[in-house]
Amino acid sequence: MLEVSGLAAGYASVEVLSDIDLAVGRNQIVALVGLNGAGKSTLLRALSGMIRLRAGQVHLHGQRLDGRSIEQIVGFGVAHVPEGRRLFSGLTVRDNLRLGSWRHKDAHDDLGRVLELFPRLGERLGQVAGSLSGGEQQMCAIGRGLMSRPQLMMIDELSLGLGPLVVDEIIARLPDLAAAGTSVLLVEQDVDVALTVADRAYVLETGRIVLSGSSAQLRADPGVQSAYLGVV
């Protein structure tokens, strides 16, 4: 579904990513893992149009996305849940979710699907987003992305600042998203969490993909075990 080939991107004179090849299939969860500073967030920004590519191409269902505006990329079916959630803290949960559906006149069914996925948000619809717990804010951010009816959802550092139980609760919903038609590209520093839920994974180091394969293959790789899973 998503095909990335030869991607290079960066900021000003600094090239952060080089020669990135990556793919996400239909109904698939793909993890992108690596240490801080590897370029994971930069890759999501490049895919969502926040920064321009210096080289390479990005296709979604055969449609070329690179060079298009953020609004156009959203229209093609890509949702980006950024690191830190980036909710409108003074607005209610309901209003934050409705902002995700700005392209659609009738979003009632979309809201129903989000609340079915995250029932806790249904209890918080009238509450301002800034007063939510960290886990509830992450649910709201993912829900806002889903309101745009994406074919691909990119989630940056899902577990950041959250307790293990809340992370498990949110991670458990991702297979439901994929099965319902929203593929997921998950950026996650907690490699164990990422490989638990993902079908496939890519390891990013200093701006380059150094390993890729099924989650089972990467779990069994001695280099991944020692560098990321704490296995000596």
Distance CA 197, CA 73 (A): 26
Say yes or no to pLDDT of 232 above 60: no
Work out the pLDDT band at 104, boundaries 50, 70, 90. Answer: low
Work out the pLDDT band at 222, boundaries 50, 70, 90. Answer: confident
Residue 227 is predicted with a pLDDT of 79
pLDDT in tens, 9-56: 999 989 999 999 999 999 999 999 998 889 999 999 999 999 999 999
- HSE, CB side, 13 Å, CA atoms: give it for residue 159: 19
Give per-residue burial for 106-127: e unless 16+ CB within 10 Å, then b: ebeebbeebbebbeebeebeee
pTM: 0.91
Tally Cβ neighbours within 10 Å of residue 219: 18
Say yes or no to pLDDT of 85 above 80: no
The boundaries of every CATH 3.40.50.300 domain in the chain are 2-77+150-228
Q: What is the mean pLDDT of the chain?
A: 91
Q: Which CATH class is domain 2-77+150-228?
A: alpha beta
Residue 36 is predicted with a pLDDT of 87
Distance CA 176, CA 149 (A): 14
